[in-house]
Amino acid sequence: MTKAIRPIVLGVLGLLWLAPVYLLIVNAAKLPADYSSAEVWKPAFGGALLDNMRDAWERADLSVTVLSTAIYSLTGPLIGVLIGAGVGFAIVALRLRHGFWWFVFVFGGTVFPIQMILMPLFVGYADAGLYDTRLGLILVYSVISVPFSAFVMRNFFSGIAHHVFEAAVMDGATTWRIFWRIYLPMSGSALVAIFILQATFIWNDLLLGLTLSQSDDVRPIMPALTSLQSTYGGSAMPVVLAGGLLVSIPTVLLFLATQRIFSRGLALGQF
Dump pLDDT digits (tens) for 135-150: 999 999 999 999 989 9
pLDDT over 60 at 27, yes or no:
yes
Asked if residue 112 has pLDDT above 50, the reply is yes
Contact 223, 215 (CB under 8 A): no
Flag whether pLDDT at 208 surpasses 90: yes
Burial label, 150 (beta-carbon count in 10 A; 0-12, 13-18, 19+)? buried
Residue 25's pLDDT is what?
86
Count of CB atoms situated within 10 Å of the CB of 64: 15
For the chain, the domains span 2-48, 54-269
Q: What pLDDT score was predicted for residue 271?
A: 43
Please determine, for residue 40, whether its predicted confidence score (pLDDT) is greater than 70: yes
CA proximity to 56, closest of 253, 250, 241, 252: 241
pLDDT of residue 99 exceeding 60:
yes
Q: What distance in Å separates the CA atoms of residue 195 and residue 138, rounded to the nearest whole number?
A: 15
Architecture label for domain 54-269: Orthogonal Bundle (1.10)
Give the whole-angstrom CA distance, residue 49 versus residue 59: 15
CA-to-CA dists, residue 144 to 57, 88, 99, angstroms: 29, 16, 20
Mean confidence (pLDDT) of the chain: 85
pLDDT tier, 104 (very low <50, low <70, confident <90, very high otherwise)? confident
Closest CA to 83 of 162, 198, 254, 211: 198
pLDDT, position 116: 85
Question: According to the model, what pLDDT value does residue 89 have?
Answer: 92
**154-184: pLDDT as tens digits:** 888 888 888 888 899 888 888 899 999 999 9
Q: Can you tell me the distance from the alpha carbon of 171 to that of 49, in angstroms, rounded to the nearest whole number?
A: 62
Q: Residue 232 has what pLDDT?
A: 45
Region 72-80 average pLDDT? 94
